[in-house]
A and B are shown apart, each in its own frame.
Chain A
Amino acid sequence: ETGVTQTPRHLVMGMTNKKSLKCEQHLGHNAMYWYKQSAKKPLELMFVYNFKEQTENNSVPSRFSPECPNSSHLFLHLHTLQPEDSALYLCASSQDLWQSGLTDTQYFGPGTRLTVL
């Protein structure tokens, strides 16, 4: 099993739909992250979880709702999205969170390509 997996790989949804993105890491890491990458823009950090607790919300609109039931799984629940939310959504994990004083390498999943109609 590869390190960080994401499902689905592609998702098309209408603005009134509710959907969820799933991320799973098989690396035994304690920290997990959601990033958004819009076309021709740098990656934007959305949320950070450490030991299942959210430690950062980077001013993300409430139509994005993360959930971290355990250190291996991370979800991003989507509802009433806008067309401008269409992007590649990336999940990552690291052994520990950067605030631990360690410079921790992040390992990324393949991403979910989301299109909002």
Chain B
Amino acid sequence: DAKTTQPPSMDCAEGRAANLPCNHSTISGNEYVYWYRQIHSQGPQYIIHGLKNNETNEMASLIITEDRKSSTLILPHATLRDTAVYYCIALTGANSKLTFGKGITLSVRP
């Protein structure tokens, strides 16, 4: 699976959009980009995933560049409860392990 790189941390103001970047320059054509988050001392929570097209659900939007070498997770109106570690993971379905790196710590400030 492709390695992903994320900045260690970022913050944003409550009510504003949080844009979390992820680089996956070695991603292959059949690898999906997954995002999970982990609020302190809780289990990880699935957010969204995509392959080529941009995706949106009730939690977030995922924007994938045309060359698929990077993506951005967008939380449109961040709340204090969105403070968590966000993990960007690239994987295929076959013989692939959900490997969590260090993620990016998002701090939402009042």
A98 and B42 CA atoms in complex are apart in Å by: 24
By size class, the interface of chain A is: 20 to 34
- Interface membership of chain B positions 71-109, coded 1 if the CB is closer than 8 angstroms to chain A and 0 otherwise: 000000000000000000001111111111110000000
- The segment from A14-22, A59-67, A74-82, A99-107 found at the interface with B is A99-107
Taking residues whose C-beta sits less than 8 angstroms from the other chain, chain B's interface range is 20 to 34
Is A88 on the interface with B (CB-CB < 8 A)?
Answer: yes
| C-alpha spacing A91/B42, complex, angstroms | 11
For B97, the chain A residues whose CB sits under 8 A away are: 45, 98
A110 in contact with B49 (CB, 8 Å): no
Known A-B contacts: A4-B43, A103-B49, A103-B93. Give 4 more (CB < 8 A).
Answer: A42-B100, A45-B97, A98-B97, A103-B32
